[in-house]
């Protein structure tokens, strides 16, 4: 059937089972938006307030659903506004396809109005990108882009399409979606060596990363923990990959991990790392990380082996498939003494947050009550900063894809757009964005998107009037010189939310916590909660720069 390039884009999106796209129109994508009007009964379009919000929404949609997120932007500034969102997805291995328009082919390279070399700009932050200069190539390029976004280690792909290509006509021939490739298992010799390590270990520790979620390997991770009789620590990106209410869970590892996790890494005789790249925020001082024990690493990307830490056994492949093959290769283990030690440390070193503020409200109180009221079933997105760590520490995530955060790039302003995408992808679930006032001001305009579509997210703002995480470092390492981290903006948050069309609520004292959260959860539309907290609350434990992950600080007496 003879279709325009824009119509071919729509048909290819339908081939890929895409039901929702996020974007913002402009001159170079007029043909695409005209086709979206024609296909509006089959493809839902969410108009965000800013292209960056569209990229973050597509990202949140992908992370929470396991599908591929799609965003659309016009040429020039529209395309460049996607860059931070694309980089965020790239760092966290999120499957996303970004479609940008460009000027007509005869205007390329002439510094034309709203022209930019977006493929050149995004080359370092995409798995692959394209500029499609022939309508004959358009359909196969889109199909290939979706395949690459999901093949192996997932990630974003960008397709740049000149305007006249979207207006040209060509014969469209439907094709079935290309199946995801099947990665080979590691060599038998490596699998045998891994099984021997597992059988001989007396004090094993499992450390799980975001690859567990991306490969849907949470059931296999649980089976591994039970069969190996081992404690489990998760990275920030794997929150919910292992049930945090399970007695085997010992909290996060790394700069803001638990004391139990630090004692476990110091005491284990085998570290089993599944789907993790050993980020510097986890290893802290890499030269001191797990040097006393062998490391068994399972990862889909061979480039991650021995990149940050040296590993004894390298099992390259999809985490789910590798674990399924490995589990029958060793017997049920029992490590009673080791697990008793783990239980004793958990009881001795619980996470407790203290405050001297007049209202007495702490994020721990709020998040634990939120976990209780939602039965730990909500999806939480976050911005980046102290509130991000508190969310990971104090909400009990029980399932994969419940915790959505910018881990690798650390993008302030990510969470609100991501919450919109997550809510659109999961209309039957409660979605809450945990924010700080610094991050909130970066993309507050997306409240208008939530209000426009009546998307029932909750924006929970921990308001301390400072850039809390940076301020915490200034306390410790800069003698309390709070250079540009005391915000004290004049924003009236409740009025701002209401001006956008969002219901506003306030938590100003401990007695407000439960009734306000109950009221917010009962609302049928978007809600903003201004939760006032002490500016000197810290994220603890904390491993200072250059220190060993085995030696976290449990308190900060910075005034002394």
Q: Which residues of 449-481 are buried (b: 16+ CB within 10 A; e: fewer)?
A: bbbebebbbbbbbbbbbbbbbbbbebbbeeeee
Residue 163 a catalytic site member: yes
Catalytic hit among 114, 339, 369, 398: 114
Query: Are the beta carbons of 160 and 118 closer than 8 angstroms?
Result: yes
Task: State whether residue 294 is helix, strand or coil.
Answer: coil
Q: Which residues of 328-364 are buried (b: 16+ CB within 10 A; e: fewer)?
A: eebeebebeebbebbeebbeebeeebebeeebebbbb
Torsion sign, CA atoms 100, 101, 105, 110: negative
Catalytic hit among 11, 51, 220, 550: 51
Residue 114 a catalytic site member: yes
d(CA 229, CA 225): 6
CA angle (188, 193, 196) in 5-degree steps: 125
Pairing of strands 2-4, 169-171: antiparallel
Catalytic hit among 163, 259, 320, 346: 163
Query: Are the beta carbons of 419 and 380 closer than 8 angstroms?
Result: no
Greatest C-alpha distance within the chain: 76
Catalytic hit among 17, 113, 123, 175: 113
Over its C-alpha atoms, the chain yields an Rg (Å, rounded) of 24
Nearest one of 205, 103, 80, 219 to 161, comparing CA atoms:
103
Pairing of strands 313-316, 403-404: unpaired
For 386-423, the three-class secondary structure string (H helix, E strand, C coil) is HHHHHHHHHCCCCCCCCEECCCCCCCCCHHHHHHHHHH
Catalytic hit among 191, 253, 469, 505: 469
Residue 469 a catalytic site member: yes
- Burial environment of residue 240 by CB neighbours within 10 A (0 to 12, 13 to 18, 19 or more): buried
Residue 91 a catalytic site member: no
d(CA 506, CA 467): 20
Pairing of strands 128-131, 379-382: unpaired
CA angle (390, 394, 397) in 5-degree steps: 115
Helices and strands, counts by H and E, the chain: 23, 20
Angle 218-228/319-326 helices, nearest 10 degrees? 30
d(CA 410, CA 553): 23
Paired with 400 in beta bridges are: none
Query: Are the beta carbons of 355 and 362 closer than 8 angstroms?
Result: yes
CA angle (338, 342, 345) in 5-degree steps: 140
Catalytic residues: 51, 113-114, 163, 469
């Amino acid at each position: 059937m003879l279709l325009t390039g824009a119509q071919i884009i729509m048909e290819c999106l339908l081939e890929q089972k895409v039901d929702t796209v996020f974007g913002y129109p402009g001159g170079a994508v007029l043909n695409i938006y005209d086709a979206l009007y024609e296909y509006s009964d089959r493809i839902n379009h969410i108009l965000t307030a800013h292209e960056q919000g569209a990229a973050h929404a597509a990202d949140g949609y992908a992370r929470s659903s396991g599908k591929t997120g799609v965003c659309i932007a016009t040429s020039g500034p529209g395309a460049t506004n996607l860059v931070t969102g694309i980089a965020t997805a790239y760092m966290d291995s999120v499957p996303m396809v970004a479609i940008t328009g460009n000027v007509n082919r005869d205007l390329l390279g002439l510094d034309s109005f709203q022209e930019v070399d977006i493929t050149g700009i995004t080359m370092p932050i995409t798995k692959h990108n394209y500029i499609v200069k022939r309508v004959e190539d358009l359909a196969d390029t889109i199909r290939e882009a979706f395949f690459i976004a999901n093949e192996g280690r997932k990630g974003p792909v960008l397709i740049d399409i000149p305007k006249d290509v979207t207006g040209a006509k060509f014969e469209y021939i439907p094709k079935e979606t290309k199946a995801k490739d099947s990665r080979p298992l590691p060599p038998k010799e490596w699998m045998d060596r891994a099984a021997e390590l597992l059988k001989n270990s007396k004090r094993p520790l499992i450390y799980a990363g975001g690859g567990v979620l991306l490969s849907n390997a949470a059931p296999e991770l649980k089976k591994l923990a039970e069969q190996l009789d081992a404690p489990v620590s998760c990275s920030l990106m794997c929150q919910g990959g292992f049930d945090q209410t399970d007695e085997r869970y010992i909290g996060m590892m790394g700069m803001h991990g638990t004391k139990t996790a630090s004692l476990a890494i110091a005491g284990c005789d085998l570290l089993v790392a599944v789907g993790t790249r050993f980020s510097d925020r986890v290893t802290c001082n890499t030269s001191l990380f797990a040097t006393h024990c062998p490391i068994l690493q399972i990862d889909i990307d061979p480039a991650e082996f021995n990149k940050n830490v040296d590993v004894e056994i390298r099992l390259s492949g999809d985490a789910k498939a590798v674990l399924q093959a490995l589990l029958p290769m060793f017997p049920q283990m029992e490590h009673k003494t080791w697990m008793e030690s783990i239980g004793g440390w958990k009881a001795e070193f619980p996470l407790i947050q203290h405050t001297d503020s007049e209202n007495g409200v702490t994020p721990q109180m709020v998040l634990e009550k939120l976990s209780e009221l939602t039965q730990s079933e909500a999806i939480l997105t976050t911005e980046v900063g102290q509130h991000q760590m508190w969310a990971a520490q104090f909400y009990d995530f029980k399932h994969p894809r419940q915790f959505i955060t910018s881990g690798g790039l650390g993008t302030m302003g990510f969470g609100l757009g991501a919450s919109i995408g997550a809510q659109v992808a999961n209309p039957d679930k409660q979605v809450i964005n945990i924010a700080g006032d610094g991050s909130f001001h970066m993309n507050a305009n997306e409240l208008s998107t939530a209000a426009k579509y009546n998307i029932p997210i909750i924006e929970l703002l921990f308001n301390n009037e400072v850039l809390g995480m940076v301020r915490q470092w200034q306390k410790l390492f800069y003698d309390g010189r709070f250079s540009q981290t005391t915000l004290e903006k004049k924003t009236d948050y409740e009025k701002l939310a209401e001006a956008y069309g969002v219901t506003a609520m306030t938590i100003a004292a401990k007695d407000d916590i439960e009734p306000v959260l109950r009221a917010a959860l009962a609302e049928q539309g978007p809600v903003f909660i201004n939760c006032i907290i002490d500016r000197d609350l810290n994220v603890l434990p904390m491993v200072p720069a250059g220190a060993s992950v085995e030696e976290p600080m449990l308190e900060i007496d910075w005034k002394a």
